[in-house]
A and B are shown apart, each in its own frame.
Chain A
Amino acid sequence: MASYATLQIERRGPVGWLVFDRPDVGNAMDATMFAELEAAWRELDRDPDVRVIVNTGNGPSFQTGLDVAQLSRDKDALREQSHRTRDADLRLTAWHNQVWKPVIAAVNGVCAGGGLHFVADADVVIAASDARFVDPHVSLGQVSAYETIGLVRKSPMEPIMRMALAGVHERLDPHRARQLGILSQVVDPPERLRDEAQQLGEKIGRNSPAAMRVTKQALWGALELGLTDANRAGGRALVSMWGHPDQEEGPRAFAEKRDPVWQPLEPHERTTA
């Protein structure tokens, strides 16, 4: 694995880890991290030994969004990011980077503002019992858009709207987030978060990589279309697996009561540069 200044990237068994590593500043994203995120997602996506990716943070925060200290010090450093924001061409998250391996966000503490990108764009979200979700944008005179747009498509809208409009003055706790279906597991005690994430990653890692890739594409694609069109596209996705070796191997391994041996993922093409 390449080495990064703002991220820790490693593999444990079938699980690739992408860990935000600026704990002193709440893992806020500076220009370096923006560039490294794109590179890291793609590296993990290319590595055939990585079946599932876990995304978490070092220190007391998961992720707190744009590094406003750098923004006030050196606007130029973030110019490229401003352009990407304006042009809806972000490269922060797995979804932005068209990573079709399963991605688990393991929220280890404060998840604020732009940190919600990584919750909205993950496939599975779990959180430590002391995690907190807050969207300070409007309290700082900023607009909340991308992150909360993703969330309102995936969970009940009213609580997301409330979080966006209440700003710094309210926080959502992980138990309520689980009740709302924003996440599926609260880990207590919080120190167990990484072990639980690794276990969940290994569980998911036992399934067919090719089938999961197409499944992920079909389900995220469903957020792009009306119901009937999504079903049409989903039908094409389904048929695309017919004839794939995993499609034979799965039932055979089941009948023979043994673990299936899946094909490694073929690299896929991205529609972005």
Chain B
Amino acid sequence: MTYPQFECLKVERRGPVGWLINNRPDRLNAMSAKMRDEFAFAWTELDRDPEVKVIVHTGEGRAFQTGVDVAEIASDGVGMERYRRSVEAFDLHFTAWHQQVWKPVITAVNGMCAGGGFHWIADADVVIAASDAEFFDPHVSIGQVVSLEAIGLIRKMPVEAVMRMAFVGRHERLSAARAYELGMISQVVDPPGQLRDEAQALAETIARNSPAAMRATKRALWGALEQGLTDACRAGAGELVSMWGHPDQEEGPQAFAEKRPPRWRDLTER
């Protein structure tokens, strides 16, 4: 599959790994209206490419992502009002979770991650970061509310650390090392220059597993954040049973017994 040209993103495939790269480095990868539209399209493109088994999301330059493009907001006369309807309706499309991408998504934080940048931490399955990455949430320091990103984060990690970031605003930064301790991320890459290689390697490792089983697993685990434990287990049973009779379910144990790599079905076939 060849991908269309994007203005604010780079989208490409390396082996089984689809890459989505924020590409407004001179704006610290802040999200303009254009970039926001491109995200929606890029996730969908990577999701429907059968060659892509795992997706890595990172950024060009010294920032990963720094939220909405405040310069654009302040200068174009429309401001945040252009987003009112979609936010009020929670009709957003710029993360993999928003777009219901059920392939595994790894966020590789290459530098500063600020404010709205947390959307892609909260909504990723796996997060790794360069050792010099820093996290902070400046919303309240510029008179804005912290809501969606932090709501996602407090369901996934200790709450106090998220609350502190929300209230300290731009006056303090969380290091990659502390983010690792808290279980916000699972790997700190040092030296930072190794980040993309490590992300590619991790993605290739994950890509060795059954795409269909991973899709059902991902649905079950994100579903666990939606309801009480017992109901989540009931819903998870549905995902689990959905794999019964799938060829991968026979192939996995058989390949293991025969000491060979399994041959999985593509997500598009059955």
Contact = CB atoms under 8 A, between A and B. Distances in A.
Given A137-B217, A145-B237, A148-B221, A223 B228 contact: yes
Given A152-B225, A153-B224, A179 B181 contact: yes
Contacts of B223: 149
A143 B156 contact: no
B237 A86 contact: yes
Interface of B is mostly: helix
A85 B236 CA distance: 10
B253 A72 contact: yes
A111 B257 CA distance: 20
Interface stretch (A19-27, A29-37, A164-172, A202-210): A164-172
Contacts of B158: 156, 181
Interface in A163-206: 164-167, 169-170, 179-181
Interface string A122-165: 00000000000000011111111110111011011111111011
Nearest to B224: A149
A74 interface: no
Contact of A158 (B184, B228, B246, B250): B184
B240 interface: yes
Interface string B198-223: 00001001101110111011101101
Contacts of A159: 183, 186
A157 B217 contact: no
A65 to B, nearest CB: 12
A141 B253 contact: yes
B241 A165 contact: no
A145 B213 CA distance: 10
Contacts of B233: 88, 145-146, 149-150
B245 to A, nearest CB: 11
How many chain A residues sit at the interface, stated as a range, is 35 or more
A225 interface: yes
A139 B240 contact: no
Given A158-B186, A170-B205, A224-B229, A142 B224 contact: no
Contacts of B241: 85-86
User: For A143, A161, A162, which residue has the most chain B Cβ atoms within 10 angstroms?
Assistant: A143
Interface of B: 104, 124-127, 155-158, 181-186, 202, 205-206, 208-210, 212-214, 216-218, 220-221, 223-225, 228-234, 236-237, 239-243, 246, 248-253, 256, 262, 264
7 contacts: A142-B243, A143-B216, A150-B229, A158-B183, A159-B186, A169-B206, A223-B229
Given A143-B220, A148-B220, A169-B206, 4 more contacts: A141-B246, A141-B262, A158-B185, A170-B205
Interface of A: 68, 72, 85-88, 137-146, 148-150, 152-153, 155-162, 164-167, 169-170, 179-181, 220, 223-225
